[in-house]
Structure 1
Amino acid sequence: MAKRSQLPLTALRAFEAFARLGKMSLAADELCVTHGAVSRQVRGLEALCGVKLTQGPRNALKLTDAGERMACSLGRTFDELEQLFREVRAAADRELHVSCVGTLAMKWLIPRLPGFHARHPDLSIRVTEAYGPVDFTREPFDAAIRLAETVAGEGLTATPFLDNFHGPIVAPELAVGGLDLAHTPRLYTRSHRQAWAEWSAHSGIPIPPEPESREYEHMFYLQEAAVAGLGVGISPWIYVANDIAAGRLAAPFGFTATPARFHLVLPGQPPKRGLKAFREWLIEEAATAPTPPPSRARESLTASAGG
């Protein structure tokens, strides 16, 4: 592909504004520069073109024939560019790009998005899986959802919208008659091997040494491993509420609250159109989330002892 020549875009814009408005002072006001800056750009453009584009006294400049041709072409071009820019920006305004922890996106957010789209048919939500610290200056997201005790970052606005509860999950057949933690393989995710220790600390329930451990890359892998009867793992309640209701999983020890909550994180600058509606909808949806079964400490202590 042939290399495009270096067009003097600043000079062309200055000349187009002068030709359209008829005065250097008006062009300067529109472009937020000085009268002299516009004049220098026009003179420079004439030098590059090798032809006079204006004629007459400095306080009553008129376009030459060459200037008229260039002004007409530039006017059409800038009109088309402005229209294209408006269309692209309007399309971008209609799409909200949300980064979200993967399992919440799969198990809770995405299944509820039809309700949001029905209420706001002019908006579209694009979801990308992400887990790290939120930095809107480096990543192309309009909003983020993270599970954390607090969300830190200069200029960020974090709204907690959903409490977090966690507890052991297992295939129903393994929970019949009480789950023996001392003899059931323990499931972990690679990025959160401390999940069992955290659950023990939050619930006050001691856990016996593990007989065997199995590690998985993601939380949704761990959940499917539990469904398949490969062991018992720790999961947030909101990720497995539907599976427990459907009988795919059991939670023999119930769920206990954690200090962490799900937060909607927005940038500090004025948020993109539609984010206010998304935040309000998210809070409404969270308010309808099912309540987890409470932690059953006595049963758990018996099971932990292998009883």
Structure 2
Amino acid sequence: MKQHLRHMNALRAFEAAGRLGRMTLAADELHVTPGAISRQVRQLEDALGVVLFEGPKNRPVLTAAGKYLQPTLSAAFMQIEQAVDAMLERQHTTLDVSCLSTFTMRWLIPRLYDFHASQPDIGVRLKATDQSAATPVSRSDVAISVAQDEDEEATPADVFLFDELLGPVLAPGLADRLRLGEPADLENREILQTRTRRNAWSMWSASVGSAVRVLPGTEFEHYYFTLEAAIGGLGICIAPWHLVMDDVRAGRLTAPLGFHASGYRYVARRNGTRDEAARLFCDWLQAQAVAMPQPEPLGARAVKLASAPRSRPPSRARRAR
């Protein structure tokens, strides 16, 4: 290290005094006495062989040499502070992430272990919202929201995740009784409703070009209640693929009419805070979205069902267990 850089305390004292204009203010900022600031400034002047302040002691002003040195030191100390802050933030960062409540429960939380494993120094604090799909999610470090195709153009801070796919889902036992093979089979059927997504049926019927009339069934406060009702055999609901794919693949739900694009897309937006951590989280979200399984084409499902042996219904004694 060069000799003059050994006077780091003196450089810091001079920078504060020159920037603030008074020794007392510099002393308050650095938590020392005004006398200590004056001594440090004199030591620096002796080391450099120049006078940095002139005028009365209670109101010193910078000399030409002082005016040359002070702004350079201020910029250097600011850069050091920013580098240290960035390092501390990277080591101990907690991101505030907001998204719709059912998405949080059924898509995000089951995958978070993977992010924590790859980025153990970045915590995630989830904030669920029950706003409707067409309403922007409130601001946070990262906001995962649902946008319509005709909404405003994406910004550089937006990360596309996936297009929403909608379809009717129901419990396998109910599907065996109803034998749904085409949208017309839903005529005058009751459809389970969700208060926050009352337009789900109209969106799906528009996507398949159907004018079938259905009846409004039981309405639930949240989508996850509606999905649990469908799993329990209480009726048919229109659901997004990403919320039910695990249930469909596990056989808890079936989707006899497939899934179609709703015109909505899921987007993650960084809101300008904790940029590096937010970027890493959004990159991870996008990778998870790309790896997400897609629904089987209807033809493939029909072949599979036709070739599978029919299972007998469980006996009354077995059902009673």
Change (3 A) 1:39 1:159: same
Q: How far 1:251 sits from its partner (Å)?
A: 0.8
Superposed CA deviations along residues 169-194 of structure 1, whole A, max 9, x for unmatched, are 11111111513423532111112211
SS for the counterpart of 1:199 is helix
Task: State which of 12, 15, 24 in structure 2 corresponds to 1:26.
Answer: 15
Amino acid at match of 2:136: P
Change (3 A) 1:258 1:159: same
Q: How far 1:116 sits from its partner (Å)?
A: 1.2
Q: Is the 8 A contact 2:188 2:214 kept in 1?
A: no
Counterpart position of 2:73: none
Q: How far 1:28 sits from its partner (Å)?
A: 3.6
Task: State which of 209, 220, 223 in structure 1 corresponds to 2:224.
Answer: 220
SS for the counterpart of 2:124 is strand
Is 2:172 the counterpart of 1:175?
no
Counterpart position of 1:290: 293
Change (3 A) 1:119 1:196: same
Partners of 2:280 and 2:12 in 1: how far apart? Answer: 45
Counterpart position of 2:44: none
Change (3 A) 1:283 1:230: same
TM-score by length of structure 2 reads: 0.63
Change (3 A) 1:202 1:122: same
Could you list the runs of 5+ residues in structure 1 that have no partner in the other structure?
1-19, 46-51, 63-81, 300-307
SS for the counterpart of 2:292 is coil
Partners of 1:97 and 1:22 in 2: how far apart? Answer: 39
SS for the counterpart of 2:126 is strand
Which moves more between the two structures, 113-122 or 155-164? 155-164
Q: Is the 8 A contact 2:95 2:124 kept in 1?
A: yes
Counterpart position of 1:160: 160
Partners of 2:289 and 2:280 in 1: how far apart? Answer: 14
Task: State which of 198, 221, 227 in structure 2 corresponds to 1:193.
Answer: 198
Q: How far 1:205 sits from its partner (Å)?
A: 2.2
Could you list the runs of 5+ residues in structure 2 that have no partner in the other structure?
1-8, 40-52, 59-80, 303-321
Counterpart position of 1:117: 116
Change (3 A) 1:135 1:226: closer
Partners of 2:138 and 2:237 in 1: how far apart? Answer: 31
What is the 5 A alignment of 1:196-211?
A: 196-210=201-215
Q: Is the 8 A contact 1:93 1:273 kept in 2?
A: no
Change (3 A) 1:24 1:128: closer
Q: How far 1:294 sits from its partner (Å)?
A: 4.0
Q: How far 1:295 sits from its partner (Å)?
A: 6.2
Counterpart position of 2:255: 251
Is 2:249 the counterpart of 1:273?
no
Q: Is the 8 A contact 2:95 2:277 kept in 1?
A: yes
Q: Is the 8 A contact 1:134 1:153 kept in 2?
A: no
SS for the counterpart of 2:159 is strand
| Matched pairs, number | 239
Partners of 1:234 and 1:226 in 2: how far apart? Answer: 10
Partners of 1:203 and 1:278 in 2: how far apart? Answer: 35
What is the 5 A alignment of 1:98-137?
A: 98-130=97-129, 131=131, 132-136=135-139
Superposed CA deviations along residues 37-72 of structure 1, whole A, max 9, x for unmatched, are x258589x9xxxxxx96599976959xxxxxxxxxx
Q: How far 1:162 sits from its partner (Å)?
A: 1.5
Amino acid at match of 2:237: G
Partners of 1:286 and 1:24 in 2: how far apart? Answer: 53
Partners of 2:153 and 2:17 in 1: how far apart? Answer: 40
* CA RMSD across the alignment: 3.7
Partners of 1:91 and 1:280 in 2: how far apart? Answer: 16
Structure with bigger RCO (C-alpha 8 Å, 6+ apart): 1
Change (3 A) 1:58 1:116: same
